[in-house]
Structure formats: structure tokens, C-alpha cells
Amino acid sequence: MPRKFFFTKAKKHKYWLKVCDRDWNDYNWQLNNRVTDPKELQEILGLSDKATKEISDSLKILRMAITPYYLSQIDSNEVNDPIRMQAIPTLAETDIKKTDCKDPLHEEADCPVPGLEGILTHRYPDRLIIYVTYQCAMYCRHCTRRRHAGETDIPTPMSKIKKAIEYIRKRETIRDVLISGGDPLTLSDDHLEVILKELRVIDHLEIIRIGTRVPVTMPMRITDNLCNILKKYHPLWINTHFNHPREMTDLSAEACQKLADAGIPLGNQSVLLRGVNNHPLIYKKLVKLLVVNRVRPYYIYQCDLSQGLEHFRTKVSEGIEIIENLRGHTSGFAVPTFVIDGIGGGGKVPVMPNYVLSQSNHKIALRNYEGLIFNYTEPTNYTHTLPLDIKKYSDPVDYKNTIGVAKLLTESGEVNLVPQNLARLKRRKK
């Protein structure tokens, strides 16, 4: 049995003290007993009437549902407890700024099939997302997909999922499918397996990925039966969503290790949240806990401009400072990529400290994490030599099918990428 590393032992709030271990460790019990009513929350946490009314008044866009497990991990009665902030709504969510958007990443607009808006997002050439449910175990207060999350507790109709799968089947360029939601692991084992099975028979589909927060919010969902199902559909990857070291309880650590033991590579996508995790020391601890439990930190997201999230958003510089404190200071595979997801469907853009200081003909000046500045000498009398077997690849010379900035680097003849409605070009005489 591998060693488990965790920050705290999972707690059980005294409100549920009479619940037997069998129920407590049964994810269906956790799902069925989620706290959704502010009045019940008042009773559990001993809130004032005023605080309770504020919570009710906060639920305009995204409903509340908290698993008894996750709620029990709240440590203090402080409103700024990091677990509490992610689970319990505040009036700040009703403060919608002019620059906020319902769908900042244009996930609906980037749907190629009429009728599948909100079910399928195809943004990148070789991969896409399908949303198989809008239910989550817990509705994160910083949810970027808050326009849909929690809309219903019923899975996406199978007829629509089949249409999305049909779209994938018809396109050989799709090699990677992200199953997302909502939280796909709120589906039953059988339902999930039907979807996995349908996807796995598509020859050109290489990777299946699942995005889920249940290892954090309902770790008992990671059962032996689930792992036995998942491992039949390899290569299957899972990305989860830990934001704070305190979320890595013994039960969450066990959930991660079970998935890893099923041969599933695990990644973590966290969101930079003001007052929750926006400090290098928090991230240093978080990434260490992740890697010892075999979860590779994958992304740190700058918080999106979804409606009512301004109070959670940070300066971009805080993300850069976190990366500055990780790269070189700790194992390379413990360093995630800090990204800003482009408004209007721009996709993820990596942002990081500057490490390249200057460049000349064949020298490049670099700096490391210690501030040491050094050069790297590139080869002189250089002629580019192609790898011997390059002809075996489809487009060896100018890789004709590439797009975007990469295309400008080929011999395709493409010399520029021109923004639409460029005033300078419009001024030109016809």
C-alpha cells in the first residue's frame, strides 16, 4: 500500500454525527443529502437570520448544493475560510459588472451543430468538449459555467449525447474528447459506461479525458467499481480541481491514489481565487500534496469574467508571482502552466515570468530562478538538417495543414495574419 500524503484528516460535522459510516461513505447518500436550503445551512452552521437571508438572496444565478462531506471540512466560523468561500454563496455574486459575460469563453457560439449548444464545444482542431450533465456534487461559487451548472439534476439526454458522438465519429481530426459538465462523475456507473463505450469504438479517437471535482467534493464517489469501469477504456485521463491544500484530506488522497492505481494519469486544474489561494506559499503546499498523491498540476486558471465573480478575481501578476515561486524552486512536474482563457473563445494563453533576456545572432541571454544570468551558444555554420524519417509524416515540408501563427513559420506562402476591419487597409484605395 503506497503512502498517502494529506493535509488534514477528513472531518464529519457534528450535525451528521448520528449518520453511520456506511451511509457517510456512500456517495449516493452524500448526493441525496446535499445541503441546498439556506435554512438547513443556518441550522448546521448556527448562522444569524441576517446571514441566512443574505445567502438566500445570493442565489440568483447559481444554486447552492454542498455535500455533507465538503461542508464538514470547513474549519472555522470565519466567512473567509477557504473551503467555505468555495461552497457558500455571498451577496458579492449578485454584483454583476459591465464587463462580466454570461458565456465569456463563447462555449455556446463554438458549437458547430444546431441544437447542441451547451452540449458540445469544438474550439481546437483536434479536440472538443462534451457536456454530459449539468449536475455537480457541489456548486463551486467560482464556477465559470454558472449559466448552466445546476440547471437540472438530470443528465444530458442520451439522444443529444449520441448526436455529439456522431459528430466526433464523422471527423477523423478529433483525437481527444473531454467529457465535462457539470460533473460527469455524478452520473451513475452504468450511464457513464454507456458513454465511454460509444466513444471507445471510434477508431480515430485516441484519448478520452474526464473533468471532475468529485475527488475534492465527494471522494467516496471513487469506488472500486468505478475504477474497474474506467480502466477498461484506456487511454483515459482525468483532470480534477483542487484549489487549496486543505482540500487534500486523507479521503481525497485515497481517491486520487485509487484512480492512479487504475492506471489513469491525473492532472489538476485550479483557479486563482482572491482570498482563497492567491499566495505562492499556498500553491507550494498544494502542488507538493498533489504530486505525492500522483496528481500532476496541469493548469492554474486566471478567474474568468463570468457573471458575479469579480470578488474572486485577482491581478494577473499574482499568477506570475506564483509561477516565479515554483519554477526552479520545486520539481519541474509540480509546476503548472498559468493560463488566461481568452474572452470570446480565444482559448488558453500561457502567461509566465520572462526568462529570455536578450538574443543575438547565435547567443541567447537567459536568467534562472536564482537571478543568475547566463548565455547559451547556438551552433555556428548552421544548416538545418531534417530527421531521416520525416517523409513518413504526412506533411514534411511545409506541413500544409497547420494553422495560425505556426503557419507563418512554414513555406506555405502565408506571410501574415490580418485582423478583420483593419482601418489602415480600409483607407487604401481600391
Ligand X SMILES: *Cc1c(COP(=O)(O)O)cnc(C)c1O
Instruction: For residue 101, indicate whether it is catalytic.
Output: no
Q: Does 178 bind ligand X (CB under 6 A)?
A: yes
CB of 121 or CB of 249, closer to ligand X: 121
CB of 70 or CB of 298, closer to ligand X: 298
Quick one: which of 59, 51, 61, 52 has its CA closest to 103?
A: 61
Grid cell, residue 228, equals 474497474
CB of 254 or CB of 304, closer to ligand X: 304
143 labelled as ligand-binding?
yes
Contact 230, 236 (CB under 8 A): yes
Which one of the listed residues 34, 84, 123, 221 is annotated catalytic?
123
Q: Does 123 bind ligand X (CB under 6 A)?
A: yes
Return the amino acid letter for 225. Answer: N
Number of residue whose CB is nearest ligand X: 123
Among 7, 15, 24, 124, binds ligand X (CB under 6 A): 124
CB of 29 or CB of 298, closer to ligand X: 298
**What is d(CA 369, CA 326) in angstroms, rounded to the nearest whole number?**
9
140 labelled as ligand-binding?
yes
Q: Does 129 bind ligand X (CB under 6 A)?
A: yes
Which one of the listed residues 81, 110, 134, 136 is annotated catalytic?
136
Q: Does 121 bind ligand X (CB under 6 A)?
A: yes
Scan residues 325-384 and list those touching ligand X (CB under 6 A).
348
Grid cell, residue 171, equals 471527423
Bridge-based pairing of strands 120-121 and 127-131 is antiparallel
- CB-based contacts of 190, cutoff 8 Å, min separation 6: none
Q: Does 45 bind ligand X (CB under 6 A)?
A: no
Which one of the listed residues 84, 103, 143, 301 is annotated catalytic?
143
Return the amino acid letter for 310. Answer: E
352 exposure class (CB count in 10 Å sphere: 0-12, 13-18, 19+): middle
Q: Does 237 bind ligand X (CB under 6 A)?
A: no
**What is d(CA 120, CA 303) in angstroms, rounded to the nearest whole number?**
22
Question: Which one of the spans 123-131, 357-365, 393-401, 422-430 is the region binding ligand X (CB under 6 A)?
Answer: 123-131
Instruction: For residue 145, indicate whether it is catalytic.
Output: yes
Q: How far apart are the first and last CA of the chain?
A: 74
**What is d(CA 357, CA 349) in angstroms, rounded to the nearest whole number?**
21
Residues belonging to the chain: 430
DSSP state of 412: S
Annotated binding site: 136, 140, 143
Positions touching ligand X (CB under 6 A) are: 121, 123-124, 127-129, 178, 348
Annotated binding site for [4Fe-4S] cluster: 136, 140, 143
Active site residues: 123-124, 127, 136, 140, 143, 145, 304, 341, 348
